[in-house]
Amino acid sequence: QGQTVIVPRTDLSVNAGDDVKLAMLETGVTLQDLVTGLNRLGMQPRDIITILQAIKAAGALQAEIEVM
């Protein structure tokens, strides 16, 4: 049998390329504000839907998502 051990690793490195875009949203933004901001960041519709579904799954969106 193997043994589970905790290994302290505190270094984190992220390389997302040169065209990385990031935006911070204020508390209490509307869903329209969020979608508009994601569009401005160059997100594709499928990516926006995935993000909204993840927000809903986390319990932070009280709405029904209907993909047509």
Local structure of residue 62 (DSSP, 8 states):
-
Give the separation between CA 52 and CA 8, rounded to whole angstroms. Answer: 34
Q: What is the chain's pLDDT, residue by residue, as a tens digit (68 residues)?
A: 788 888 887 777 767 667 777 777 677 888 888 899 899 888 999 999 999 999 899 998 888 888 77
pTM for the full model?
Answer: 0.61
Smallest CA-to-CA distance from 31 within 19, 8, 49, 46 is with: 49
Give the separation between CA 38 and CA 21, rounded to whole angstroms. Answer: 10
pLDDT of residue 7: 81
Give the separation between CA 13 and CA 39, rounded to whole angstroms. Answer: 27
